[in-house]
């Protein structure tokens, strides 16, 4: 035995695979002199199941204090000459290199984790050891001598066999489970082992540790490709026979298999032993041949061996596991399934099932590769030999081949674990649903999705189909790849995504506008034509802000005149702003960072005009007017009756959830309404998306859920389908902190089409990969589900702006991370135009790029001249700057060389429902027949939420000439189609918009103009707007505040 062992050891290729050095034993430590020195050997690979250094030692101070010196000293004290640090805090010792360990294939790259006790030192990495030796001990370890021993060179296989390469193995969880003992170690060769396996009816064969042979019908126990097969075969030193914990694996593919049996009712002789306690409906179905001609077992689920197994116990265990067939084999083995697989067939005689059951010698439990089958099926289901599915595929998918993958650097970016239901149909349907045109299955239970370009980028290659031989977890009749091998398919039908990549003027362009004094958290265009900004007051990084500014776009060349300082009294950090429908278009801001800010209700009454200085400032007195409960990250919305709905948030300062609703002004008896769905989804539901539905009710979307609320009781009326996220993670979210952005699709007269909600972007838990899709839903349609449209790139913390031509501009954000300080990376500089008038999956066009990173606290709003104002980025980390520059994006409709049309109102700017707006317009390109008219509801923008956003294309008629067009416009019919609001009216001349002008539609039904009635706050009063002949009366009103009819 000693000679055989030495012969094998010296034949190994590794310099350190012999084990002549004895491990130090506890209780006999030898402390070496202090003059001894430790030297760095290199970055070594390691494996949890087969350690390179086998002794994991406890070190002083524990893992949190580990340094290289502590690890070395501990190993030396225990008598070891090799020490290795791993994963920042783990220390391993040994007197030799074990389990095929060696220098890592990626060099020093994987040793990249700092020591917990000294960040200036490297303590290995994931599955990587920073390895040191004492007094150059590694040179003294037994080494390879090649002067008289042949070096293995053979890497092929005998005829009919395909080499699959080197695989990992473990004593307690074998990759191939049947060991052949009939071949002496000194006689072991690849040929001998392969011959033994095929004689035994196995199609997989493996040689290990120079002298061991294993067989099986499939890869077991998650065996996977590895390195370290470097030991010569004991009987043929020119061949490799695995290594320590490593196995050279071969697959037999040549033998023709018998025809598939036709499923029939089986007539079988009952065993001689009487079975008295079979479950009702169960019967003996005969003695069956198992694992014929190298195929797998005829029943797939092999339960743990049971020395006391009986027929009854095996059947009961299979029933418990949900199967309808039970098979007993070779005394103690119990198998279960719901069909006979691998072309199972009856044995020629029942006498071949001749091994007594381990728990009842009077019963027969199969035999060697023979199975006693029992079932409750009248006719046993017999399946064909597994194949790669290339027919009956979903949609227009086509099989392309067995594709090599890389476990570290995957070919495809999205991996889905389908533990129990992986099939070509299920996997590929997922891929195409989310817009991916390439994908496939790997390792039985893994589904991958991506693009053909991923295959090209990774230079992935196709190998022989015989290597993709692992059965699908959802269909044992088909193969789902193999270890690092994908059964690869591509979509061959009409493109799943048809994006346009614009250039020149068709791509629009970014322009620098002006430097800013603040980083805005909320942005709103006032009815005075100026842009109101609010930022963190008291918590601003610059710490020199008044908390509020107003920008006059006509004064861009005069910085002082452009920026008017305004003032708030409490911190508006992560609050919500909307435009009120009162006659002066006040802006209201609610919530904030911490008490008393979270209770804050602030008002600004826009005054002045472009080029005319404004004087009014923000007004606030939380001791007079405030929310019923403090809120940070809330949402707000004008309801159909004109009242204000406030939803969700947190206590403030990263505090507890506030899972409730309230209405302001507070109706008599109106209290805060608790919402279990907000409590359950905290903290992923902040800044939820809200919308009044044309049919009545309120739409709310939060985290990855949505529902419709009754507009009177605010109780749930209907729960909607969950919002899809990523193809590989349904737990992704769409609201803060997995912040996407939402809009309502344009509503066209006569407003009979169902309203469509669209949400774009978001993120996922864990690696926090941003979402690359938009989803849309018609919430009022019973049974409607979300439609998924893939974007050209991933986005989180993005913005989306409705444009007057009915399109949407998607911009800003990142491709990885969450909303929050320092939580997002990979800025997305590209703007995308979404055009709902085009066919689904063809609606997105990639436009121009910016050079400015716009991360957390970026905002974008439509300004009256049709441009998009882009501001902010407040990451507060060292990777990205605090961004004060203000840009504008010019959509393509402003770059076509056409002068923007103009118009004037003929009958004021204050209208009811079903009312008529008269305008006189001038066109510079088209004629009255080419006009379009849009209404863009007033917006307060923050954190991906455009509070109040709606786009309308009302009914109208026009006459006259291009120089003098007279148009009559019919306003929307009611407050559900068009909640009371100010809006910018645009005239479009062949797609080129005019400068928008403000109109109010729907009045002030909640009489907000008379609220709140305190001497220090401005009251607009009720009645016509100034543009409709109304008079401004600034000051207190004696009229009581109008009361919303909603009660909770």
pLDDT surpasses 50 at 294: yes
Confidence class for position 197, pLDDT limits 50, 70, 90: confident
The third-level CATH classification (topology) of the domain covering 161-252 is Hepatocyte Growth Factor (3.50.4)
What pLDDT digit, counting tens, does each position of 99-138 carry?
A: 778 888 888 999 999 999 999 999 999 889 999 999 887 7
Q: How many CB atoms lie within 10 A of CB 662?
A: 22
How would you classify residue 893: left for phi > 0, otherwise alpha for psi between -120 and 50, otherwise beta?
A: alpha
Q: Is the pLDDT of residue 373 over 90?
A: yes
**What is the average pLDDT across 624-632?**
95
Q: Are 962 and 983 spatial neighbours (Cβ–Cβ below 8 Å)?
A: no
Kindly report whether the peptide bond that precedes residue 683 is cis, defined as omega within 30 degrees of 0.
yes
Q: What is the largest CA-CA distance in the chain?
A: 111
Least confident of 174-178, 325-329, 614-618, 772-776: 174-178
Average pLDDT, the chain: 89
- For residues 960-987, give the mean pLDDT: 98
**How many other β-carbons are positioned within 10 Å of the β-carbon of residue 925?**
16
> Model's pTM, two decimal places?
0.73
- Rounded CA separation 410/453 (Å): 13
384 pLDDT tier (thresholds 50, 70, 90): confident
Region at 1029 (left for phi over 0; alpha for psi -120 to 50; beta for the rest) = left
* Higher pLDDT among residues 185 and 151, named by residue: 185
Count of CB atoms situated within 10 Å of the CB of 305: 12
* Euclidean distance between CA atoms 100 and 95, whole angstroms: 14
For the chain, percent helix, then strand, then coil, each to nearest 5? 10, 35, 55
Mean pLDDT value of segment 233-255: 87
Q: Name the range with the highest mean pLDDT among 171-180, 385-394, 899-908.
A: 899-908
Work out the average pLDDT over 932-938.
99
pLDDT digits (tens, 9 = 90+) for 313-364: 999 999 999 999 999 999 999 999 999 987 788 999 999 999 999 999 999 9
Peptide bond preceding 216 in cis form (omega within 30 of 0): no
DSSP 926-967: --GGGEEEEEEE--EEETTEEET--EEE-EEEEEEETTEEEE
Tell me the per-residue pLDDT of 803-837, one tens digit each, with 9 for 90 and over: 999 999 999 999 999 999 999 999 999 999 999 99
- At residue 140, the pLDDT reads 62
pLDDT tens, position by position, 13-36 = 332 333 233 333 233 222 233 347
Rounded average pLDDT over 90-95? 90
User: What backbone torsions phi and psi does residue 199 show, to the nearest 5 degrees?
Assistant: -65, -35
Strands 951-953 and 747-748 come out as: parallel
């Amino acid at each position: 035995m000693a000679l055989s062992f030495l012969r094998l050891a010296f034949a190994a290729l590794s310099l350190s695979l012999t084990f002549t050095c004895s491990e130090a034993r506890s209780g006999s430590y030898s402390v070496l002199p202090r003059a001894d020195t430790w030297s760095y050997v290199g970055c070594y690979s390691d494996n949890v199941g087969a350690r390179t250094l086998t002794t994991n030692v406890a070190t002083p101070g524990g893992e949190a204090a580990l340094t290289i010196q502590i690890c070395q000293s501990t190993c030396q004290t225990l008598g070891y000459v090799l020490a290795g640090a791993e994963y920042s805090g783990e220390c391993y010792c040994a007197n030799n290199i074990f389990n095929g360990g060696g220098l890592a294939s990626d060099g020093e790259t994987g040793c990249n984790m700092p020591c917990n006790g000294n960040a200036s030192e490297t303590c290995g990495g994931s599955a990587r050891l920073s390895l040191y030796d004492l007094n150059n001990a590694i040179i003294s370890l037994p080494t390879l001598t090649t002067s008289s021993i042949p070096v293995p060179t053979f890497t092929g296989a005998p005829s009919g066999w395909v080499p699959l390469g080197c695989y990992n193995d473990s004593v307690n969880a074998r990759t191939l489970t049947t060991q052949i003992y009939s071949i002496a170690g000194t006689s072991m060769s690849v040929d001998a082992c392969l011959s033994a396996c095929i004689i035994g009816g196995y199609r997989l064969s493996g040689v290990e540790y120079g002298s061991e042979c294993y067989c099986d019908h499939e890869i077991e126990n998650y065996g996977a490709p590895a390195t370290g097969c470097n030991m010569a075969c004991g009987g043929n030193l020119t061949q490799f026979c695995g290594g320590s914990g490593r196995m050279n694996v071969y697959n037999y593919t040549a033998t023709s298999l018998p025809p598939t049996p036709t499923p029939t009712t089986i007539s079988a002789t009952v065993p001689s032993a009487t079975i008295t306690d079979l479950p009702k409906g169960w019967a003996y179905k005969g003695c069956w041949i198992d694992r014929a001609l190298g195929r797998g077992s005829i029943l797939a689920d092999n339960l743990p061996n049971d020395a006391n197994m009986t027929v009854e116990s095996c059947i009961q265990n299979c029933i418990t596991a949900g199967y309808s067939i039970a098979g007993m084999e070779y005394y103690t083995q119990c198998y279960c399934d719901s069909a006979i697989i691998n072309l199972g067939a009856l044995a020629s005689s029942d006498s071949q099932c001749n091994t007594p059951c381990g728990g009842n010698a009077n019963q027969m439990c199969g035999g060697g590769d023979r199975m006693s089958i029992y079932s409750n099926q009248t006719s046993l289901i017999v399946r064909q030999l597994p194949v790669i599915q290339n027919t009956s595929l979903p949609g227009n998918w086509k099989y392309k081949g067995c594709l090599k993958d890389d476990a570290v650097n995957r070919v495809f970016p999205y991996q889905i674990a389908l533990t129990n239901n992986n099939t070509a149909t299920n996997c590929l349907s997922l891929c195409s649903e989310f817009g991916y045109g390439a994908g496939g299955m790997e390792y039985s239970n893994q589904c991958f999705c991506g693009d053909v370009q991923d295959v090209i980028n990774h230079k992935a290659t196709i190998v022989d189909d015989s290597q993709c031989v692992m059965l699908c977890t959802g269909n044992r009749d088909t193969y789902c790849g193999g270890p690092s091998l994908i059964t690869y398919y591509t979509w061959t039908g009409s493109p799943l995504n048809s994006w346009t990549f614009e250039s020149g003027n068709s791509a629009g362009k970014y322009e620098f506008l002006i430097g800013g004094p603040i980083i805005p958290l909320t942005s709103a265009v006032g009815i005075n034509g100026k842009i109101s900004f609010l930022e963190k007051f008291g918590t601003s990084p610059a710490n020199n802000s008044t908390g509020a500014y107003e920008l006059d776009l006509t004064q861009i060349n005069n910085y002082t005149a452009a920026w008017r300082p305004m003032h708030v009294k409490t911190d508006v950090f992560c609050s919500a702003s909307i435009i009120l429908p009162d006659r002066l278009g006040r802006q209201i801001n609610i919530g904030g960072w911490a008490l008393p800010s979270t209770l804050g209700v602030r008002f600004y009454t826009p005054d002045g005009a472009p080029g005319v200085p404004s004087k009014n400032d923000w007004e606030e007195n939380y001791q007079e007017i405030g929310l019923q409960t403090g809120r940070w990250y809330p949402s707000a919305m004008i309801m159909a009756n004109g009242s204000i709905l406030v939803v969700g948030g947190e206590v403030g300062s990263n505090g507890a959830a506030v899972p409730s609703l309230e209405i302001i002004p507070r109706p008599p008896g109106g209290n805060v309404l608790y919402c279990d769905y907000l409590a359950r989804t905290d903290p992923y539901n902040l800044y939820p998306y809200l919308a009044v539905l044309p049919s009545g009710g309120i739409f709310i979307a939060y985290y990855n859920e949505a529902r419709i609320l009754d507009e009177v009781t605010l109780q749930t009326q209907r729960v909607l389908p969950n919002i899809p996220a990523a193809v590989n993670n349904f737990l992704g979210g769409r609201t803060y902190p997995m912040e996407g952005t939402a809009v309502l699709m344009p509503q066209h007269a006569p407003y009979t089409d169902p309203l469509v909600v669209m949400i774009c972007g978001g993120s996922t838990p864990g690696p926090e990969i941003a979402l690359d899709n938009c989803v849309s839903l018609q919430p009022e349609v019973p049974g409607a589900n979300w439609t998924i449209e893939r974007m050209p790139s991933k986005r989180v913390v993005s913005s989306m702006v409705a444009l007057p031509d009915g399109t949407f501009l998607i911009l800003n954000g990142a491709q990885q991370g969450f909303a929050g300080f320092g939580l997002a990376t990979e800025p997305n500089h590209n703007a995308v135009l979404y055009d709902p008038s085009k066919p689904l999956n063809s609606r997105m066009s990639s436009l121009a790029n910016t050079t400015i990173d716009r991360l957390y606290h970026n905002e974008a709003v439509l300004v009256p001249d049709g441009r998009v104002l882009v501001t902010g980025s407040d990451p507060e980390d060292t990777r990205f700057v605090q961004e004060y520059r203000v840009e504008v994006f010019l959509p393509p409709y402003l770059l076509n060389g056409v002068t923007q049309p103009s118009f004037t109102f003929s009958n004021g700017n204050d209208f009811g429902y079903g009312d008529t707006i008269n305008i006189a317009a001038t066109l510079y390109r088209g004629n009255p027949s080419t006009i379009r008219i849009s209404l863009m509801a007033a917006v307060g923008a923050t954190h991906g939420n455009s509070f109040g956003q709606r786009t309308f294309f009302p009914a109208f008629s026009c006459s006259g000439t291009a120089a003098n067009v007279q148009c009559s416009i019919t306003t929307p019919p009611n407050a559900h189609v068009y909640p009371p609001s100010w809006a910018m009216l645009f005239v479009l001349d062949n797609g080129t918009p005019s400068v928008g002008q403000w109109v109010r539609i729907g009045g002030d039904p909640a009489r907000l103009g008379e609220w709140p009635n305190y001497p220090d706050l401005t009251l607009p009063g009720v009645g016509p707007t100034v543009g409709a002949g109304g008079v401004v009366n600034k000051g207190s009103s004696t009229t009581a505040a109008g009361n919303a009819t909603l009660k909770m």
